[in-house]
Structure 1
Amino acid sequence: MTTASTPRSGAPRAVLADDERLMREQLRARLTEAWPELEIVAEARNGTEAVELVEQHRPDVVFLDIRMPGMTGVDAARQIAQMDVGDDGVLPEIVFITAYDQYAVEAFEQGAADYVLKPAERERLKVTVERIRKRLADRQGEAGDAGEGAGQAAPPLQQLLHRLSGQLGGLGVAGVQAKPAYLQWIQATVGQAIQMIPVDEVLFFISDEKYTRVQTATVEALIRKPIKELVDEIDPQRFWQIHRSTLVAVNAIAGVTRDFRGRQIVAVKGHTQKLEVSRSYAHLFKGM
């Protein structure tokens, strides 16, 4: 693990993660050509180091090799997506480094993240750099983009991570892609009883330090599973993560407004609960 102890500046910052040293060196050299102002603050040899370095340096961009020993780049991205970035922070942009895989490349076209094919070709890297530059620039005007109503949102990062995870380990019989098995029922505590709650009936999940509250239109229950585990077990097309501690059913979103502090607030159909959207997930309601 290598790291540069340079002070925080106005230049964009990046962390590189690849278990192959030559690949890291090549990517660093070509990024220097394509994006001279980018400050590469650290390099990791595996997913675990990548997560630690992102936690330490809070970069604007993370370049993650998809296939690394131990923790894959997808697993690392999942942990990064669950980091507590603070009231003023946002999650870094994710760029995956991958050998050519048609299915993976198609997944990236959703736009939740970008990719660089091995070896990093100069022209394709320029495209990635321009996309990331635009996203970072767009963040500056993001605060004024929320309005009322839940319009069509960009596909969240968690959907891409679920799909890529399936590409890495979800091949079924005869090489056919296996469909992810998402939770259908929640076994929860309601008063002194254990109750089976259909996931279809859940409006939202909210976690505190010990428990996660499961809320339906008629039932409020508790489970011991944290949000960071639920996001891997719940269908990301049906539930959006809008805060590190909150998942909300997409079809239960009645609208999105701003409070007096400028925070996005989700109203839930058939319930009085108001759910705060953290800045890291503000893109879900952009352009409404």
Structure 2
Amino acid sequence: MTTAIIADDEDLPRKELRRMLNKVWPELEIVAECEHGADALETIHQSAPDIAFLDIRMPGMTGLDVAHAVKGRCHAVFTTAYDSHAIDAFAAGAIDYLLKPVSEARLLEAVTRLKERMASKQPVNDLGQLMSELDKRLRNTHVERIRWISASVGDTIKMFPVEKILFFSSDEKYTRVVCHDDEAHVRKPLKELMDGLDPEIFWQIHRGVVVRADAITRAHRDELGKYTVELRGIEEKLKVSQAYAWRFKPM
């Protein structure tokens, strides 16, 4: 039995891809649908699917990040809403992509190639250079970045310039915004905030934690292989989930 996961932060494209896969490849078992990259990475580690259908742009951990982190443990097919200019880099690699909205005919082509690749027992390609090129191109796409975070505290509105924020942590209702000398809570979900944060500056290290990378002073690994990080100027330590431990592997 061939198995696969689907990772996309939008519900409708995820369900539509499952529907079309059920039609063009009924023998394929979809073992999980994931709403973001961290879930996808955890599922790949736990379930070891043969194929991962990964949306290129997801908040925090992108499809490219997931493919890099799993290091060839499964075949990857990227889904993207970008036009052909942004995905020219695919032309040089033995990898497939699906341009949204995905057509059934195009999906059938991708499925046929996947079947041929697996039937001939071709190894999963090393996509490091390709993904680096894609990542560079896609991150250069203009995105309106957040410059200020405003938080209501009683009758007061606190203003936090984004360059002074050390980390964001989120529960189901609120997102905590922390600087060296102050903090507050905002009602905006972390997922929405991440759309406006520069991923080169702010790293997601846990499902509910995003940290300023240049504020990290050290990462500690315990006897179980779990990481915590320390930030400059504060005593609070932040946990790193397994999905993001790859950020702290020695070079």
What TM-score comes out, normalization by structure 2 length?
0.60
In the alignment, which of 189, 206, 212 is matched to residue 169 of structure 2? 206
The AA in structure 2 aligned to 1:96 is F
Show the counterpart of 1:88: none
Higher relative contact order by CA 8 Å / sep ≥ 6: 1 or 2?
1
Change (3 A) 1:79 1:282: closer
Change (3 A) 1:51 1:276: closer
5+ unaligned residues in a row in structure 2: which ranges?
A: 7-13, 63-72, 98-105
Show the counterpart of 2:185: 222
SS in 1 for 2:166: strand
Show the counterpart of 1:64: 53
Show the counterpart of 1:130: 124
Quick one: distance in 2 between partners of 1:227 and 1:214? 10
Show the counterpart of 2:228: 265
By how many angstroms is 1:23 displaced?
11
Matched, 1:240 2:203: yes
In the alignment, which of 170, 187, 203 is matched to residue 150 of structure 2? 187
SS in 2 for 1:231: helix
By how many angstroms is 1:106 displaced?
3.4
Paired residues of 1:115 and 1:128 also in contact (CA < 8 A): no
Quick one: distance in 2 between partners of 1:184 and 1:274? 25
By how many angstroms is 1:280 displaced?
0.7
Show the counterpart of 1:152: none
SS in 2 for 1:189: strand
Quick one: distance in 2 between partners of 1:241 and 1:108? 30
The AA in structure 2 aligned to 1:208 is D
By how many angstroms is 1:20 displaced?
8.8
By how many angstroms is 1:64 displaced?
3.2
Paired residues of 2:227 and 2:241 also in contact (CA < 8 A): yes
By how many angstroms is 1:198 displaced?
0.5
What TM-score comes out, normalization by structure 1 length?
0.54
SS in 1 for 2:199: coil
Change (3 A) 1:285 1:272: same
Matched, 1:104 2:87: yes
| Aligned residue pairs, count | 204
**Bigger CA drift: 180-189 or 190-199?**
190-199
The AA in structure 1 aligned to 2:152 is T
Q: Percent identity?
A: 32
By how many angstroms is 1:125 displaced?
5.1
5+ unaligned residues in a row in structure 1: which ranges?
A: 1-5, 7-11, 30-38, 44-48, 66-72, 82-91, 136-154, 167-176
The AA in structure 2 aligned to 1:210 is K
By how many angstroms is 1:186 displaced?
0.2
Show the counterpart of 1:15: 5
Quick one: distance in 1 between partners of 2:179 and 2:221? 24
Quick one: distance in 2 between partners of 1:129 and 1:213? 44
Quick one: distance in 2 between partners of 1:197 and 1:252? 16
Which aligned runs of 4 or more in structure 1 are off by greater than 4 angstroms? 19-24, 49-52, 77-81, 97-100, 121-129
Change (3 A) 1:242 1:123: same
